[in-house]
Structure 1
Amino acid sequence: MSARMEGDDHSYSYSATTIRNGLISGYTAGICGIVIGHPLDSLKVLLQTANAGPTNPSSASGSGVRVGAKVVNSSNFVISRASSTAAAAAVSTRPSSVQTSNIIPAGKRSLTSLYAGVTGPLLTVGLIQSINFAVYDSVRRVLYERQLRRENDSGVVLVNCLPDDYLHYDDLQNVAVASFISGGATSFLTSPVTMVKTKQQIMQWSFRKAIQDTWSRGNSKLKLQNFYTGFGIHFCCDAFGRSLYMFTYEYLKRSMSERQHVDVDSNSASPANLSIPQRMICAASAGMTCWAFIYPADVIRSRLYSQSLNSQSLPTTMDGIRLAQQMVRETGYQSLYRGMPISVARAGPVAAAILPVYDYMLDMIS
């Protein structure tokens, strides 16, 4: 798209240069977030999955097993599927793939061990974040150009337009839509990374071991789908979470900017003039708000990944929904918020690093 507003020398649509800028900014921000936030992310996963699996199917008690249908072990909230013959074969021929006694509790882990699983994110998250922010920036540009066309058709006079105006004056609904699209698009890339990372954090496996374990699961010939266990829940975390995350960040920046200046029409009231500490406050608040909202879904996602450690029949999104219902019936809604303080504490500094770094890099190289 290369349309320009009448009487305006600037186009807000994406180009090779703007995509490059988004990639570089996103990559830098993604690496900063991983280095700062991975230890707290490990603590979050360990708390979410503590005493919840993985379990050895050969030792499942009869009280929680129903052959030929869904198998529910209520004590550990384990949901799997097997026919009577498949279940018998699994018990008699396949040894336990996970020894739960080898899982070191969160409180006894060293700082170095809390970086277990960082290899995959370091190799991939920078690239994924760069794609995410590049898509986000491009969609925002397109939506803002359409916004200007609507305003122009309604008789709004636009003066002193600048190429980066879309970053500060687009509708917040544009921000929500653009971030939802970018988060949903990259969820297909982040699902394998998140699953492998979670297994590494729980078992302290190497990157290669976690990939091999995931690849060996399931009975399907299409082994790639093993890396998309419970993908529907993962998609919701990434797409809806990203939308709320970026929407809140932009809303807080604009609110803070307007409170600082009486004349909100002045250029001095632009969010572009906020200091780095002010941006960090807005970003930390946005990250904590986002995680408080999506945390129950993230708990279910971690539980599903934990269950997949010891099951040849991989859990699905519907299994995740049934798991959530089972958890609420057994221990109440608080079970969906286990480890939430760690997650919220992690979200603050990580977001405070990622979003201001992204803003700064994008402004510097544009």
Structure 2
Amino acid sequence: MTEIVEITDIASQKSGWEDFVAGNFAGMAQVFVGQPLDTIKVRLQIENTKFKGPMDCLMQTVRKEGFLALYKGMASPLVGIGAVNALLFAAYSRIKSIQATSLDEQLPLHKIAIAGAGAGAVNSVLASPVELLKIKMQAQYGSTKGGGALYKGPLDCAQHLIREFGIRNGLFRGFWATVFREIPAYAGFYSGFEFAKRKLTPEGADPNALPPGKLMIAGSFGGLSYWLCCYPLDVVKSKVQNQQNPPKGAFYILSTLKSIYKNEGAKALTRGITPTS
């Protein structure tokens, strides 16, 4: 969901609660900065004819709904980012420690990827409902005042979905799509982040002691790796979570993937990737 915000947690050597507070504020800052780009990404993913590209989506959204429309859906990730980051980092640290033979061992990149993949799977428990509510709000065109929106906010959206479909098919719709996205996404993020950190570290120095500038470069490489490893699955997840009714069948991820390819072509599986780069 927020592939760069946990950098603070990874680099920090402070106590657990300080990590949580720092990660929460870093995550909130990332949501504020990244939400407009995320809104453009999601709208491009779920609409195959409405927009010509990212700039057209931006201009249409601002012109027809106002600048603040770019921040639709921000409330759920803003509130949930602390818990999501805490769970992600805790799972990642735990899986790394299980694989390590000593406290100071530098794990090889394939074990870093395994830890990231496991953390991503665990993280889906919180990320799935948070992103569902975000996407539902981002997909609404018009305003609640003008009667052009179905949901007044994320709580109203959650109540509607639970009342109509229950918790599993309502609030947790697209859970397995989220799991299948998060596994390669965080395997790519953490291994990419560690790879870049080690390349930027002078010989004999500690990769965890990089200055902020180099840490930002490593984080950017990790973020790029995140999206390159999972983007088609993110498109599938957005489609599934935004559709009016719950997906059918145990293999709905594969059937949705085939449907997108058949009806919209291969390019649809990368639509909206530019704002994430």
- Give the TM-score, by structure 1 length: 0.61
Aligned to 2:157: 210
Structure 1 residue 233 corresponds to structure 2 residue 180: no
Matched, 1:194 2:131: yes
Distance 2:221 2:242 in 1: 30
State the Cα deviation string for residues 166-199 of structure 1 (Å, max 9, x = none): 5xx2322332222222211120111111111100
Q: Determine the structure 1 residue equivalent to 2:39.
A: 42
Post-superposition shift, 1:289?
A: 2.1
Cα deviation code 1:100-121 (max 9, x no counterpart): xxxx954634331111111111
In structure 2, relative to structure 1, the CA distance for the partners of 1:320 and 1:107 (3 Å cut) is farther
5+ residue gaps in structure 2? 1-13, 51-58, 141-148
Kindly tell me: are residues 276 and 178 of structure 1, through their superposed partners in 2, closer, same or farther at Cα, counting changes over 3 Å? Answer: same
CA displacement at 1:21 relative to structure 2: 5.0
Alignment of 1:111-260 (within 5 A): 111-144=67-100, 146=101, 148=102, 165=104, 169-203=106-140, 205=151, 206-218=153-165, 222-257=166-201
Cα pair 1:20 1:134 within 8 Å, conserved: no
Q: What amino acid sits opposite 1:134 in the alignment?
A: A
Distance 1:140 1:27, change over 3 A: farther
TM-score by length of 2: 0.78
1:45-56 paired onto structure 2 within 5 Å: 45-51=42-48
Alignment counterpart, residue 324 of structure 1, candidates 242, 254, 257: 257
Report the AA paired with residue 248 of structure 1: G
State the 1:291 CA deviation: 0.6
- Decide whether aligned partners of structure 1 residues 126 and 330 sit closer, same or farther in structure 2, where only a CA change above 3 A counts: same
| Residue pairs, 1:87-106, within 5 angstroms | 105-106=60-61
Unaligned runs of 5+ in 1: 1-16, 54-103, 149-162, 345-366
Q: Is the 8 A contact 1:300 1:324 kept in 2?
A: yes
* Offset of residue 296 of structure 1: 0.7
Aligned residue for 1:29?
26
Residues 302-317 of structure 1: pairs in structure 2 closer than 5 A? 302-308=238-244, 311=245, 313-315=246-248
Distance 2:61 2:70 in 1: 9
- Return the structure number with greater relative CO, CA threshold 8 A, min gap 6: 1
Code of the residue aligned with 1:286 in structure 2: it is G
Give the drift of 1:275. 1.8
CA RMSD of aligned residues (A): 2.5
Report the Cα offset of residue 230 of structure 1: 2.7
2:224 alignment partner, one of 272, 277, 288: 288
Q: How many residue pairs align between the two structures?
A: 245
1:334 to 259, 267, 273: 267
Report the alpha carbon displacement of residue 51 of structure 1 after superposing the two structures with TM: 4.3
Change (3 A) 1:343 1:20: same
- Report if the CA contact (8 A) 1:237-1:297 is conserved: yes
Counterpart amino acid of residue 44 in structure 1: K
1:122-167 Cα shifts (integer Å, max 9, x gaps): 11112211221122223323432x2x3xxxxxxxxxxxxxx7x45x
Distance 1:236 1:314, change over 3 A: closer
Aligned to 2:207: 271
Change in CA separation of 1:47 and 1:304 when aligned onto 2, cut-off 3 Å: same
User: What SS class does the counterpart of residue 243 from structure 2 fall into?
Assistant: helix
